[in-house]
Amino acid sequence: MDRREFLKKTAVVAGGILLASPLASVMASDDRMKQRIFHSDEEDHKMTYRVHHGSGDKVSLLGFGMMRLPDSQEKVNQLVDYAISHGVNYFDTAPMYKGGRNEAQTGQALNRYPREKYFVATKMSNYDRATQQFDNARKMYENSFRELRVDYIDYYLLHGVGGSGMDELRRRYLDNGILDFLLREREAGRIRHLGFSYHGNVEVFDFLLDHQHEYHWDFAQIQMNYLDWRHALLEKGGWKHDADAEYLYNKMEKTGVQTIVMEPLRGGSLAKMRDILANRLKALRPDDSLASWAMRWVGSHPNILTTLSGMNEMSHLEDNIHTFSPLDPCTESENRLLEEIADVMAGFPVIPCTTCRYCMPCPFGVDIPGNFAYYNETVEKQILPLPDKTAADYLTRKQQFTEGLKKALPDTTTWAGQCVGCEACLKKCPQQIRIPNQMARIVETMGQ
């Protein structure tokens, strides 16, 4: 269906509601919106920006997560004013935040600025059965325009896919025709970029990215921070995902889908940690907050479009703006230190391999369960994780690890280093272990 046919059909289906709504006014200008470029007063601030590969949008590396806004509209306006005057231009909300009031608060604050001053993101939060009916979901979508006082949405997301697996994805978006509808809305220009926010079930994540040729996602939003990078399987205070952020990020980069990050501080846990860990960071950068380390770590990844932070206090906003104005990327040794801290925080968990051997044979000869069994054994014996290279027992433990490996797997052609990342084993593992990533981790550990 071409655009003219679509607009004709939409007008009939909407029965006048659409034509009476602000949406109708954008029909003639969709091409302009698709190519919209953000203009900022760059000379006034030093914010770091990333460019969206498809549209050319110049998005601030710090994005404003509006979910936890204060009740007072005056305070919201003050926060937004400060953010915009320091170069922040990405604002993320959703119909379900703050009991349904968050979009209106966001709209009221942003509407005081010219439309080209900001990018606004909102979502299809059709979690309950009633809003999964096509007409109700569509009403939710149309209401977002009214609440936000806009006639196009810059970044629109399927909200929280993966929470309850493929059945839920089908029920919320596929079987009811909502995803098809949103794809048409993007074609018509009322949605400039279409993506999804992901929580939990990696089968859903893989399905959506493996259908990139069909859906052409413009971006996707994931939970990513230096703890979830390799320890997302940890269950701590209700947090549990079945794939590490490292896997999600790498797959998105490979698929050509840019990443928007949520929870860079892992619900605040990376902004306050045991003194023994915090002191290691403070020793290197005494003036920097713990939060700034986590934000810098995220921002240092090149495929990140923006990093959302829920800033309900001016001090949080000031600190984050300072961190990204401009970004001072993490060095290799800083990355290594954060990795060590994450390992300590996580207790360096073992790989949950049951040695069922469903993944075998590997076409490149890797003994997958054998490598995992040995790795787990060394973790249990506290040979791994290796200490810092300057530690007195570093060399002894490294030698212990290598000698043990030679005994456990005498044939070196079965070692993790033979893995070429072909992913032939990936879908065969009932534990959903990201096997190639884990192999790379073992290789890295051995090479330290």
54/369 with CB nearer ligand SF4: 369
Which residue, among 407, 408, 406, 398, has the nearest Cα to 373 in the 3D structure?
408
Shortest approach of ligand SF4 to residue 384 CB, angstroms?
18
Binding flag, residue 377, ligand SF4 (CB under 6 A): no
Binding flag, residue 362, ligand SF4 (CB under 6 A): yes
Q: Single out the residue of 6, 358, 379, 394 in contact with ligand SF4 (rule: CB under 6 A).
A: 358
- Which single residue is written with the structure tokens 């009633």? 130
Binding flag, residue 431, ligand SF4 (CB under 6 A): yes
Q: In whole angstroms, what is the distance from residue 365 CA to residue 349 CA?
A: 26
Shortest approach of ligand SF4 to residue 431 CB, angstroms?
4
**If binding means CB under 6 A, how many residues of this protein chain bind ligand SF4?**
28
Residues 410-429 that bind ligand SF4 (CB under 6 A): 419-425, 428-429
Local structure of residue 436 (DSSP, 8 states): H
Shortest approach of ligand SF4 to residue 87 CB, angstroms?
42
In this structure, how many other beta carbons lie within 10 angstroms of the beta carbon of residue 277? 16
206/319 with CB nearer ligand SF4: 206
Shortest approach of ligand SF4 to residue 250 CB, angstroms?
13
In residues, how long is the chain? 448
Binding region for ligand SF4 (CB under 6 A) out of 153-161, 176-184, 340-348, 366-374? 366-374
Shortest approach of ligand SF4 to residue 94 CB, angstroms?
36
Pull the structure tokens for residue 230.
């390799």
Instruction: Name residues whose C-beta falls within 8 Å of residue 325's C-beta, 6 or more positions apart in sequence.
Output: 45, 46, 47, 48, 86, 87
Q: In whole angstroms, what is the distance from residue 402 CA to residue 404 CA?
A: 5
Which residue, among 72, 236, 97, 214, has the nearest Cα to 160 in the 3D structure?
97
C-alpha radius of gyration, the chain, whole number: 24
Binding flag, residue 404, ligand SF4 (CB under 6 A): no
Binding flag, residue 366, ligand SF4 (CB under 6 A): yes
In this structure, how many other beta carbons lie within 10 angstroms of the beta carbon of residue 298? 26
One-letter identity of residue 38 = F
Q: In whole angstroms, what is the distance from residue 379 CA to residue 375 CA?
A: 6
Shortest approach of ligand SF4 to residue 227 CB, angstroms?
23
Shortest approach of ligand SF4 to residue 198 CB, angstroms?
22
| Residues lying near ligand SF4 in the complex (CB under 6 A) | 353-359, 362-364, 366, 368-369, 372, 419-425, 428-429, 431, 433, 435-436, 439
